[in-house]
Amino acid sequence: MKRFLLVISVVLCLLYSCPNTTQTAEVMEKPVVGKLEVKPAKPIVEELNIVGPDEAMAGDLVILYASVPQDAELDWAISPPEASARFYIDSNKRTAVFASRTKGVYIFALAVAIDGKAKCLIHVLHNGVGPGPDPDPDPDPDPDPTPEPGKRFVLVVSETGERTSEQAATLMGLRGYLQDKGHEFRFLDPDITDREGNVPKWFESYAEHIAKAKIEGSALVIGVFSKDEKSVTQIYAESLPETAEAAIEAVKDKGG
């Protein structure tokens, strides 16, 4: 039965329908009256997660670790599928490694079966992708909300540990559209840091824009490139739409 659920979960991962990544701790059973022993709760990992870097230089060895209970059954997948030739998993499936000189955004899915229940975890890796473009140093205080169509910079800021199945599907669908149209994009955690452990300078202004917009939860920011494509004017910041179709429509509405 466990194996059946695990296989079903992998299929769901690949179809971009992944459940929440947070596991609630079990409550200790109440003692039986007249007995001194209390049956302890089964030890589990409170938060299921894929631990690993969000960014890597092209060709660097990336190590991913599955933070899950020891008795969990696991299955990994990678998108795009053709990258699987560069993706290796150890025998107990707790650790996976990836290395590729091909720059791009890679999404790793991990199906987890625990006590007959299936879950799916998602991890996004930016491989060989440099820092996002700097915001316009002297932005128009009232930018044109409907600029001419052209290349866009799309930034999604979402908490990895709180990502829902709907958000995972939205990210994957949005990524496909942005890649096809040649737009630049980044999917980041709000507490992203650089190799020195500091908040990247290029991200500070985007974070301020999100804060001023009073967005709670995942955010979608859309910017227009300058003519030399060295800076971006932020023209839109809203909560991340619930579906890929709605997110794509938001990009189209802003000229993308």
Fold of 134-253: Glutaredoxin (3.40.30)
pLDDT 10s digits, 220-243:
999 888 888 878 887 788 999 989
pLDDT 10s digits, 201-218:
888 888 888 888 888 889
Q: What is the DSSP letter of 130?
A: -
Q: In terms of pLDDT, which residue wins out, 30 or 189?
A: 189
Fold of 2-27+42-127: Immunoglobulin-like (2.60.40)
Domain spans of the chain? 2-27+42-127, 134-253
pLDDT 10s digits, 111-159:
899 888 888 888 888 888 777 777 765 655 566 666 788 899 999 998 8
- Check: CB of residue 156 under 8 Å from CB of residue 187: yes
125, 147, 158, 177, 244 from 107: Cα distances, Å: 6, 31, 15, 15, 16
